[in-house]
Amino acid sequence: MSKLPVPSSATALPAHTLERVAAALAGNSLTRGEPLAPYTTFKIGGPADLLYTADSADALAHAILTAREAEVPYFVLGLGANVLIADKGVRGLVIRNAASHFSFSDDGQLWVESGAVMAKIIPEAVRRGWSGLEHYVGIPSTVGGAIWQNLHFLSPAPERERTMFIAEVFESAELLTEENERKTVDRDYMRFGYDDTIFHHRRDFALAATFRLERKDPAVMQRIMQENLSWRGARHPWLEWHPSAGSIFKKIEGVGAGRLVDQCGLKGFHIGDAQISFMHANMMVNLGRATSADVIGLIRHAQGAVKDKFGHELEPEINFVGDF
């Protein structure tokens, strides 16, 4: 459950523990004190003590195991959507998952590392005539993020008017488990639900995934992608306009969190450079220099307004990471 962070005074980690991790990960892929804002879709976030870029599944596993063995806090960062990083940054190790190797087999299997961006993988599948992923075009996510949340999409096309889930094409995944074991798991292990998977309940990490795709006409898939992109573009203020983290509040069945915020007259309301979008009231945008403090203040304001007017409790959907 994603609650608002409680302000705290985080103490610095012992220098020798950080140096132990730094020594094990030394090289061009490791930096110190680098701001994380450029690595998030919100473009907000202070520095990481250590930032390591993992360019393969093996490098990702090595970095996680190194942090665990040294007992240093760590966070794995994918595309940086659906996350708000504290202005003060993140203590310990941030692992940027850039592992993006992939391969297609002749029978429709797609094997892909978890750091691959869906926006790059989907066109590759369509170009080869493999169907199953084109419905998720326009949703910013890595492969790891897609299976972490069981990526879903309510298709606008009449012949496909239903919620579609990434679990429908998922076949298996290679994980690093919380017991530090690398193993391949099937769909049953993943416990796919609505915005829920095994990753929400165990400290497992996806290193790679395999999807089962079907042969279809690339022209039909291109049409589906264009329809979905048009539908999303008319409703969601994504990166074409201002940086955003995606939906801020969790779905309220039968009501709609965004509708409640809208009915409070809050579209366009801002604190600092954090603004409730004019296009979609369940999204907040960064007008240029927004801070995490601005966003937290805006979230609290929207929660208070909705609670006072309708009695509903808005619960944040985004993840809060770092020293708040």
CB 93 within 8 A of CB 52: yes
| Per-residue model confidence (pLDDT) at position 239 | 45
The residues spanned by each domain of the chain are: 15-97, 102-233, 244-321
The burial of 287, by beta-carbon neighbours within 10 Å (0-12 exposed, 13-18 middle, 19 or more buried), is given as middle
> Thinking of the domain 102-233, which architecture would CATH place it in?
2-Layer Sandwich (3.30)
| CA pair distance 275, 129, nearest whole angstrom | 41
Q: What is the pLDDT of residues 261-275, one digit of tens each?
A: 999 999 999 999 999
Fold of 15-97: 3.30.43
Q: What is the mean pLDDT of residues 127-139?
A: 93
Q: What is the mean pLDDT of residues 207-232?
A: 92
CATH assignment of 244-321, among 3.90.1010.10, 3.40.50.300, 3.90.78.10, 3.30.460.30: 3.90.78.10
| CA pair distance 159, 192, nearest whole angstrom | 25
| CA pair distance 140, 123, nearest whole angstrom | 14
| Per-residue model confidence (pLDDT) at position 154 | 72
Give me the phi and psi of 23, to 5 degrees please.
-65, -40
| Per-residue model confidence (pLDDT) at position 7 | 66
- Calculate the average pLDDT of the chain: 92
Beta bridge pairs of residue 76: 95
pTM for this model (two decimals): 0.91
